[in-house]
Amino acid sequence: MVWVEVAMAMSVLGVLAYLRYTPVPPEGVSEREKRKVAIRMKTILVDMGAVLEFFGLTTIVHFLRAVWKYMSRHQEAILTVPESLLKVTETTFDGVKVMVLEPQSAEKRSAVPGLVYIHGGAFCFGSAASCFHITSHLALELGAVVVSVDYRLAPEHKFPAGLNDCVMATKYFLRHAQKYNVDPARVGIAGESAGGSLSAVVALKLGQERQNPGLKLQVLLYPSTQGLVLTASTYKYGPCEVQSVWEAAYITSLYLYGNRSKIDLVLANPYPAKLEGTHYMNFLDPSLVDPALPPLPPGRHVKREDIAAGDSDLEVALNPHVSPLLAEEEDIRGLPPTFITAMEYDIIRDHAIFYAKRLERAGVKVKMLHYKTGYHGQFQDFRWSEAGRGMMEDVLSYLKENL
């Protein structure tokens, strides 16, 4: 860990240089000054990780994991909850590591609701422990049993390993809900960022498999819902976002392929040209986000296996378990009621809007909130920012009413 401390010391010196040219968030974003600090520090750390990776000392992912572990080591005592309020158990569901959070009040009541929570972290970072401040708050406020899934991370475990973990853990919880005094007909799923993406696919898969009992609802917080277009056509904030386009391509390559070999392919954005005139592009119609734009004409319906024949990368991008937005209509119709959020200052803002529109057209009951001053990661910050607290209240309100 010595090299982590040295690197962090070097990063402090690097701040002075970055202050001169690093873009700052636009005027409208929530917590602008905090965003400014977060963006600059993240940029420095990613660049330092890239240097270390270039010299073969470590990788960007492993460097960032080590830094975040070092920085969070003093937070454990702050985030504990008295055992008299919350029983916390680390166990496995069909071999998948999970953290089960049971409010002590739940043991004294009739069957309570349950919630599967899938943490964010770009498919490469995070754990059940890193989102404990979220899951413990949800459990106590809802009086619900929360299962936080410690799914396997990329690049060590590429797609679909992490997804399979989430599916298996969710199915196990549904089958054994009564063991935790949970009503199996009142189990939902929720997640933010990558966790929102995984939650969407878990709900899709369980619907495809006619899981009974199924999920009562899904809560998708600024999820990625498609892999065809890295940045949707209406995205306009560029380097002012916490995640840059290059970083998004880097993470996509690590998640889907287990290495960085496809970064250039993702950045080249070749799929829209190949799919022009097909029904797939109607799901990404810019007019869905900006009604002032003319809608695309209806595209011809094509089968995934036909259009992707001979192109394994396109086949991956069209896979509905990577891109739930592109799922078949009958599978979309089978989804549970959905709460979904789009953040204005987010590189994947339009993913949520596209998905909400697709679900609404299929007859799914949808509540979408578009946070006009919101940023990616806002929910994670609920203990430290007013914007995050407001978002947490919105989520709790929906869950209390519908779960």
Q: What is the CATH classification number for the domain harbouring 184?
A: 3.40.50.1820
Rounded to the nearest angstrom, the gap between the alpha carbon of residue 320 and the centroid of all alpha carbons in its chain is: 16
Instruction: Identify the weakest region by mean pLDDT among 318-322, 328-332, 335-339, 342-346.
Output: 342-346
In a domain, 77, yes or no: no
In this structure, what is the dihedral angle of CA atoms 277, 282, 286, 291, given to the nearest 10 degrees? Answer: 120
| Residues 140-157, mean pLDDT to the nearest whole number | 98
Residue 187 sits in the same domain as residue 275 = yes
Q: How far apart are CA 221 and CA 370, in angstroms?
A: 11
- If asked whether residues 363 and 312 sit together in one domain, one would say yes
Encode pLDDT of 169-205 as tens digits: 999 999 999 999 999 999 999 999 999 999 999 999 9
Q: Active site residue: 11, 127, 148, 193, which one?
A: 193
Task: Based on the fold, state whether residues 6 and 128 are members of the same structural domain.
Answer: no
Mean pLDDT (whole number) for 279-308: 93
Please answer whether residues 227 and 253 qualify as being in contact, where contact means their C-beta atoms are separated by less than 8 angstroms.
no
370 as an active site residue: the answer is: no
d(CA 45, CA 26): 22
Convert the pLDDT of each residue in 270-292 to its tens digit. Answer: 898 899 999 999 999 999 998 99
Please tell me whether residues 32 and 174 are part of one structural domain.
Answer: no
| Whether 63 and 90 share a structural domain | no
pLDDT in tens, 361-383: 999 999 999 999 888 889 999 98
CA dist 100 → 113, 117, 128, 340 (Å):
13, 10, 10, 24
Q: Which of 270, 250, 357, 356 is nearest to 318 (CA)?
A: 270
Task: Say if residue 308's pLDDT is above 50.
Answer: yes
C-alpha angle 267-269-273 in degrees, rounded to nearest 5: 165
Residue 237 scores a pLDDT above 60: no
Within this chain, do residues 63 and 127 fall inside the same structural domain, yes or no? Answer: no
> What number of H helices and E strands is found in the chain?
15, 8
Does residue 92 carry a pLDDT above 50? Answer: yes
List, for residues 43-72, the tens digit of each pLDDT value: 788 888 888 888 899 999 999 999 888 877
3-state secondary structure of 176: coil
Residues 92 and 16 in one domain: no
Q: Residue 35: which residues within 8 A CB-CB, separation 6 or more? A: 25, 29, 242, 345, 375
Domain that residue 171 falls in? 82-403
- DSSP codes of every residue in 2-22: HHHHHHHHHHHHHHHHHTTT-
Residue 239 has pLDDT above 70, yes or no: no
Q: Tell me: the pLDDT tens digits for 205-222?
A: 999 999 888 999 999 999
Phi and psi dihedrals of 397, rounded to 5?
Answer: -60, -45
Is 311 part of a structural domain of the chain?
Answer: yes
pLDDT category at 295 given cuts 50, 70, 90 is very high
DSSP-derived 3-state class of residue 93:
strand
With a cut of 70, say whether residue 297 has pLDDT above it: yes
- Whole-angstrom Cα distance, residue 336 to residue 325? 15
Q: For residue 257, how many other CB atoms are within 10 A of its CB?
A: 19
Q: Of residues 165, 285, 346, 350, which has the active-site annotation? A: 346
- In this structure, are 189 and 262 located in the same domain? yes
Tokens of 257: 């392929």
Q: What is the mean pLDDT of residues 332-355?
A: 94
Beta strands in 68-139 (DSSP E): 86-93, 96-103, 112-118
Q: Which amino acid is at 338?
A: T
Catalytic residue list contains 397: no
Nearest-5° angle of CA 200, CA 120, CA 160? 55
8 A C-beta contact, residue 275 and residue 317 = no
Where does the pLDDT of residue 108 fall: very low under 50, low under 70, confident under 90, or very high at 90 and above? low
Q: Give the β-pairing of 96-103 and 86-93.
A: antiparallel
pLDDT on residue 16 = 43
Are 215 and 336 part of one and the same domain?
A: yes
Among 47, 72, 97, residue at a domain's last position: 72
The pLDDT value given to residue 375? 87
Domain-embedded: residue 67 = yes
3 state SS of 356: helix
260 with 366, same domain?
yes
Lowest mean pLDDT, pick from 105-114, 132-141, 221-230, 291-300: 105-114
| Identified catalytic residue from 119, 137, 351, 376 | 376
- CA distances 402 to 43, 114, 187, 188, Å, are 40, 12, 11, 10
Instruction: Compute CA 191 distance to the chain's CA centroid, rounded to the nearest angstrom.
Output: 6
Domain termination site, one of 72, 90, 109: 72
Query: Is residue 1 pLDDT above 80, yes or no?
Result: no
Does residue 47 belong to any structural domain of this protein? yes
Q: Which residues contact 396 (CB under 8 A, 6 or more apart)?
A: 138, 141, 142
**Residue that finishes a domain, picked among 32, 48, 72:** 72
| 191-to-87, 166, 218 alpha-carbon distances in Å | 21, 11, 9
Distance CA 320, CA 331 (A): 10
Q: 3-state class of 28 per DSSP?
A: coil
Q: What are phi and psi of 49, to 5 degrees?
A: -60, -35
Total domains in the fold of the chain: 2
Residue 277 resides in a domain? yes
| Known active-site residue 376 | yes
| Percent of the chain with pLDDT strictly greater than 90 | 66
Clarify whether residues 131 and 61 are in a common domain: no
Q: Are 320 and 335 in contact (CB under 8 A)?
A: no
Beta 182-192 vs 112-118: how paired, if at all? parallel
d(CA 79, CA 85): 13
Of the candidates 354, 388, 356, the one whose C-alpha atom is nearest the C-alpha of residue 371 is 388
- Mean pLDDT across the chain: 88
Same-domain check for residues 159 and 125 = yes
Look at residue 235 in the predicted model and tell me its pLDDT. 56
Q: Is 91 helix (H, G, I), strand (E, B) or coil?
A: strand
What mean pLDDT do residues 244-257 have? 91
How much is the average pLDDT of 394-403?
Answer: 98
